[in-house]
Structure 1
Amino acid sequence: MIETVVSVDLMVEEELKVKKNHLAPDFPTGEEKRICIVSGLYGDELQGQYICYEVIRRIKLEYENLIGIVDVYPALNPMGLDSKTREIPGSGIDMNSIFPGSKLGALGEYTASCIFDDIKGADVCIDLHASNLYVHEVPQVRMNDDRVDELMPIAKCLNVDMIWIHPSNSVLNGSLAYSLNEVGVRSVVIESGVAYRINQQYCNAIVDGLFALMKEMEIWKGNTVTPKKVPITNDKDIRYINAESSGIFIPGVQLFAQVKKGDELGTVVNVITGAVEEVVYATGDGMICSLRDYPVIEEGSLLARIVGGNAYE
């Protein structure tokens, strides 16, 4: 059932609406577990659009297997999605920095408050993201190091390729996931791909993981995949490769590649002189988990990340 979470009148007889698809068993008992799947906090991140569609499509195909509640919110920042911008158009506010919001606030804060109140009370929330325009990311779950015990069982179900644990003091306090965890809704962030694109292979693997999680939560009784065993890593296990010159970056490896210290990762070239400005080398052993996608760079630009060190399964 399609429901309106928040509706706000705008100028020129327009209206902002955030909607969700509420999927529940035909004969609920009142004891059902509830999961919320949210996307579209940033208007340039499109991976979640496909994931939301595919989750709803699969549930509708086998509705008899639904034994809990699934609330799907495809576009939490609909104006950003329409204008293809990360922020809320006009105000320039980062939607993912103002939760839990305020009913007495401006447009962004009011919208955030309505969304937060609607999700509050769920057992789990999965916040779907893509990377920015510049760097391509492998599918990964991100969480705070002070929430590992409660969130790791969720993360291991999600069929991603990496779980990245961040120090809690580096996490934005106004983010949706942080704010929901503060009120008892277990929440993790999935990030994958790159902005303005949909990678169906990544998305379908994540959808498989969502159904595995729903089965674990006793929301879904249909068949599911066995989630992949993946590296679990902390910041200390991530090596950042940054450019030491400006120009065009030409990668020599692909995402997921296993590299050794000293392996060539690519070159930075000067297009007017035809010269190679820099040869980029791996600074340690591991897997390429992030790789520059937008080729124009300047000194200091992130070119790659390598996950290695003490990452374990």
Structure 2
Amino acid sequence: MKPFIDEENKMHLLGEVIPPGKSTRINISTAKLHSHTVVEVPVIIERSKKKGPVVLITAGIHGDEINGVEVVRQLIAKKLHQPKKGSIICIPVLNIYGFINNTREFPDGRDLNRVFPGSKTGALASRFAHLISQEILPIANLCMDFHTGGASRFNAAQIRIDKKNKKNVELAKVFHAPFTVFSSNIKKSYRYTCEKLDIPALLFEGGKSNHSDKYIAMEGVNGIKRILNHLGMLKEGVSLTKPEKKSIIIEDSYWLRAKYSGLLHVKIPLGKFVEKGEYIAIITDPYGTFRHKVKAKKAGYVINANQAPTVYQGDAIFHISKEAGE
């Protein structure tokens, strides 16, 4: 059954009726573990008595992306999810199976963010995506989804949006992450499904898998506060952090890959603007006989850096912005 808000401002969600001013936690479950242990995904709903937008805030679509989970956890712990008007729905860990096992994927080996809107009779990940797409997502007026870089690749705090979606462009300006990256939607992703339902969606990236960084979490929480304030939903007495710099727009970018296998030594801070030919890392062998300087191919901002101690030839080591058409 699709969720909705009735004429009396009562929310109908996941088989429950949630009146205005009510705080509710609904635990959903799609399948038990093979041990028959019940695994539940908590959905935390906070409703104001005043009518207003419904904001859906999610993280952990990849089970090892802990930093995104931390953003939503802090939002709840600080009671910032209690709106002055409207409703806020928080799902801190979408992929509870991956979260338990510290893995990116569902137990069926599928990436949850590549099977939306899902299927009622498909594989486990697809069934869960179908539940989210049918029974939660349609009630949202805005979605914010929190991610990190994969493996050891550390993302600078950034919002990713499709530049053709003017609503998302305006909301990204309000969120004001250090970087705003124009990125086309990928078919079968959560963000693509939001677009098909005409729901504005902001995708935040920051940090790396299986790691928590307090500065990245701070950027995520501050951005949410700015959005809620913009919508008139931020409760009284909450202070806003004014950004120190403009959000840097990234319209195009390239991956710099390792020319050799070896030990990786990154020599620049994340977010730095590097010049063409600038020395930014070293690749060595373990024996002190080989040393290769990694240089930037083009000028641009470093928005992702590989923090793994070792790399293989062809591994991505930096994600760097470039001028469109370069």
TM-score (norm 2): 0.85
Structure 1: any 5+ residue segments left out of the alignment?
Answer: none
Matched, 1:162 2:182: no
Structure 2 letter corresponding to 1:240:
W
- Which residue of 75, 79, 104 maps to 2:121? 104
Please state how far the C-alpha of 1:99 moved relative to its aligned partner.
0.9
- Which residue of 65, 73, 82 maps to 1:53? 73
- Structure 1 residue aligned with 2:154: 136
Matched, 1:200 2:214: yes
Check 1:258–1:145 CA distance in 2 against 1; reply closer, same or farther (3 A cut).
Answer: closer
Please state how far the C-alpha of 1:225 moved relative to its aligned partner.
2.6
Trace 1:52-91 onto structure 2 (pairs within 5 A): 52-59=72-79, 63=82, 66-89=84-107, 91=108
- Structure 1 residue aligned with 2:260: 245
- Tell me the distance in 1 between the aligned counterparts of 2:118 and 2:256: 37
- Is contact 2:258–2:317 with CA below 8 Å preserved after alignment? yes
Trace 1:107-118 onto structure 2 (pairs within 5 A): 107-117=124-134, 118=136
- Structure 2 residue aligned with 1:153: 170
Please state how far the C-alpha of 1:201 moved relative to its aligned partner.
1.0
- Which residue of 201, 206, 226 maps to 2:242? 226
Please state how far the C-alpha of 1:221 moved relative to its aligned partner.
4.2
- Tell me the distance in 2 between the aligned counterparts of 1:270 and 1:229: 40
- Tell me the distance in 2 between the aligned counterparts of 1:218 and 1:102: 36
- Is contact 1:121–1:185 with CA below 8 Å preserved after alignment? no
Structure 2 letter corresponding to 1:266:
A
Structure 1 runs of 4+ with >4 Å offset: none
Check 1:270–1:111 CA distance in 2 against 1; reply closer, same or farther (3 A cut).
Answer: same
Check 1:140–1:307 CA distance in 2 against 1; reply closer, same or farther (3 A cut).
Answer: same
| Aligned partner of residue 116 in structure 2, secondary structure | coil
- Structure 1 residue aligned with 2:281: 266
- Is contact 1:34–1:219 with CA below 8 Å preserved after alignment? no
- Is contact 2:163–2:169 with CA below 8 Å preserved after alignment? no
Please state how far the C-alpha of 1:79 moved relative to its aligned partner.
0.7
The percentage of counterpart residues that share the same residue type is 22
Please state how far the C-alpha of 1:255 moved relative to its aligned partner.
0.8
- Tell me the distance in 2 between the aligned counterparts of 1:292 and 1:7: 35
- Tell me the distance in 2 between the aligned counterparts of 1:159 and 1:190: 11
Q: Which moved more, 1:13-22 or 1:262-271?
A: 13-22
- Tell me the distance in 2 between the aligned counterparts of 1:255 and 1:199: 13
- Structure 2 residue aligned with 1:39: 59
- Tell me the distance in 1 between the aligned counterparts of 2:294 and 2:33: 50
Count of residue correspondences: 298
Q: Which moved more, 1:289-298 or 1:1-10?
A: 1-10
Structure 1 letter corresponding to 2:299:
D
- Which residue of 288, 302, 305 maps to 1:291? 305
- Is contact 1:5–1:114 with CA below 8 Å preserved after alignment? no
Structure 2 letter corresponding to 1:220:
L
- Which residue of 199, 214, 226 maps to 2:228? 214
- Tell me the distance in 2 between the aligned counterparts of 1:178 and 1:130: 18
Please state how far the C-alpha of 1:16 moved relative to its aligned partner.
2.8
- Tell me the distance in 2 between the aligned counterparts of 1:240 and 1:79: 31
Structure 1 letter corresponding to 2:39:
L
- Is contact 2:30–2:127 with CA below 8 Å preserved after alignment? no
Please state how far the C-alpha of 1:134 moved relative to its aligned partner.
2.6
Check 1:283–1:120 CA distance in 2 against 1; reply closer, same or farther (3 A cut).
Answer: same
- Structure 1 residue aligned with 2:197: 183
| Aligned partner of residue 157 in structure 1, secondary structure | helix
Please state how far the C-alpha of 1:198 moved relative to its aligned partner.
0.7
Matched, 1:17 2:40: yes
- Structure 2 residue aligned with 1:300: 314
- Tell me the distance in 1 between the aligned counterparts of 2:129 and 2:202: 18
- Is contact 1:68–1:218 with CA below 8 Å preserved after alignment? no
Check 1:264–1:109 CA distance in 2 against 1; reply closer, same or farther (3 A cut).
Answer: same
Please state how far the C-alpha of 1:69 moved relative to its aligned partner.
1.1
- Is contact 1:157–1:210 with CA below 8 Å preserved after alignment? no
- Tell me the distance in 2 between the aligned counterparts of 1:52 and 1:210: 9
Check 1:251–1:11 CA distance in 2 against 1; reply closer, same or farther (3 A cut).
Answer: closer
